A and B are shown apart, each in its own frame.
Chain A
């Protein structure tokens, strides 16, 4: 393998943890999250020289991650969504483990675009405009989709909603 640019290696090590956490929320699965981050960093590696370094490339990497996730899901079709499984190897902490399962499960049951918009808005704290740009949709659509996704999640969580929003 050729020598990877030092600044790429530094960037990849610095950003991989955060990318992985976002990927876990998007995919709901440790192995798929790892694959998604690998693919994202591989794309960053291939285009490293062409990427504008005026700003830190971390934000761009997150855009690549979300778009790669959406493209993969489109390619695989929707058959895989219904067979999404929670990570078997994850260690559930004893306290409120049922609630965690429900929230992750709720996310997994949302349409892919809804899941992406919630993760961007409420995990990555992206603005509506940033979310819209990443998802390549108009801001008004991003706002509507975010609201709709929240309502769907609320409907899915049912009684757990009160517990979720109580703290």
Chain B
């Protein structure tokens, strides 16, 4: 065994014990951890059920409307199988309360609309109220673009938008209106193969918009081009777009 291999072996052997000692630095978990986790699970289960029910109601309404059209008019009495309210009743009814994760709360459509016109933007796999992705292809290789929008982040970030521990080349500036803009590029895989450029912004009202572009169609590669698909300036334009200021997040 070479000296290097010996050192590595000893290091490996010491890891478990040292990791255990590291854990002594942490306070124990909160006593109500299980209760809160169970409550979170129950909330998620109910939300999921509500979304499914909403989908079912929408499907029934659509089927009902289709049935009415097929049968040649809206004057007929509603079919027992399609409890569709009459147009008059529908107009008079109060608007339904918004359920979480409805399409208007999702970010992807807005992201697609904000991407530069020099390339083709298509929907990515993720589309939620806080996170969405798109694929952007300018003819030199498609790259992933991801956006995260969060609210009430001022206290949580607590000065983390500086470049103290960020990669070389990071810049952080405060715009005249008070919005902080931090941008940097780093290797995702540690080998400088898959690269990600990120612009992280925090508005004075606590809204945070983070936009990242990759040189690969997924955040795990493979790389399709040498540089990320959007430039820092293009990312900045998307992150600072006023259209993020309404609705989601």
Instruction: Please report whether the interface of chain A is mostly helix, strand, loop or mixed according to DSSP.
Output: helix
Complex-state Cα separation, A4 to B8, whole angstroms: 47
Confirm or deny: B179 has a beta carbon within 8 angstroms of a beta carbon on chain A. Answer: no
Chain B nearest CB, measured from A55 CB (Å): 21
Q: Name B141-178 residues within 8 Å CB distance of A.
A: 146, 148, 157, 160-161, 165-167, 170
Are B148 and A76 in contact, CB atoms less than 8 angstroms apart? yes
Are B42 and A78 in contact, CB atoms less than 8 angstroms apart? no
Nearest A residue to B165 via CB reads A82
Taking each of B34, B146, B219, which has the highest tally of chain A beta carbons within 10 Å of its own beta carbon?
A: B34
Confirm or deny: B118 has a beta carbon within 8 angstroms of a beta carbon on chain A. Answer: no
Nearest B residue to A146 via CB reads B12
Are A103 and B166 in contact, CB atoms less than 8 angstroms apart? no
Q: A25-B23, A42-B44, A77-B212 are in contact. Are A37 and B33 (CB under 8 A)?
A: yes
Are A16 and B167 in contact, CB atoms less than 8 angstroms apart? no
Confirm or deny: A90 has a beta carbon within 8 angstroms of a beta carbon on chain B. Answer: yes
Are B15 and A77 in contact, CB atoms less than 8 angstroms apart? no
* B contact residues around A17 at 8 Å (CB): 28-29
Q: Per a CB cutoff under 8 Å, which of A21, A77, A104 touches B196? A: A77
* A contact residues around B13 at 8 Å (CB): 165
Are A24 and B219 in contact, CB atoms less than 8 angstroms apart? no
Complex-state Cα separation, A164 to B146, whole angstroms: 39
Confirm or deny: A9 has a beta carbon within 8 angstroms of a beta carbon on chain B. Answer: yes
Complex-state Cα separation, A37 to B30, whole angstroms: 11
Q: Per a CB cutoff under 8 Å, which of A78, A114, A123 touches B198? A: A78
Binary per-residue interface labels of chain A (74-118) against chain B in the complex, 1 for a CB within 8 Å, 0 otherwise: 111111001111010111110010001001100000010010001
Confirm or deny: B10 has a beta carbon within 8 angstroms of a beta carbon on chain A. Answer: yes
Binary per-residue interface labels of chain B (1-34) against chain A in the complex, 1 for a CB within 8 Å, 0 otherwise: 0000001101111111111111111111110011
Identify which of B54-62, B92-100, B183-191 touches chain A. B183-191
Are A122 and B19 in contact, CB atoms less than 8 angstroms apart? yes
Confirm or deny: A33 has a beta carbon within 8 angstroms of a beta carbon on chain B. Answer: yes
Are A12 and B34 in contact, CB atoms less than 8 angstroms apart? yes
Complex-state Cα separation, A124 to B15, whole angstroms: 11
Confirm or deny: A53 has a beta carbon within 8 angstroms of a beta carbon on chain B. Answer: no
Binary per-residue interface labels of chain B (36-47) against chain A in the complex, 1 for a CB within 8 Å, 0 otherwise: 111111101100
Given contacts A77-B210, A84-B165, A165-B10, 19 further A-B contacts (CB under 8 A): A1-B38, A13-B34, A16-B29, A21-B26, A38-B37, A41-B34, A77-B148, A82-B170, A82-B186, A92-B25, A93-B24, A100-B22, A103-B18, A123-B20, A148-B190, A150-B11, A152-B190, A164-B18, A165-B11
Q: List 22 A-B contacts (CB under 8 A).
A: A9-B38, A13-B34, A34-B29, A37-B33, A39-B40, A42-B40, A42-B41, A42-B44, A45-B45, A46-B41, A76-B210, A79-B198, A91-B25, A100-B22, A100-B25, A103-B22, A104-B25, A111-B189, A122-B12, A123-B20, A152-B190, A165-B7
**Chain B contact residues, CB within 8 Å of chain A:** 7-8, 10-30, 33-34, 36-42, 44-45, 48, 126, 131, 146, 148, 157, 160-161, 165-167, 170, 182, 184, 186, 188-190, 196, 198, 200, 210, 212, 219
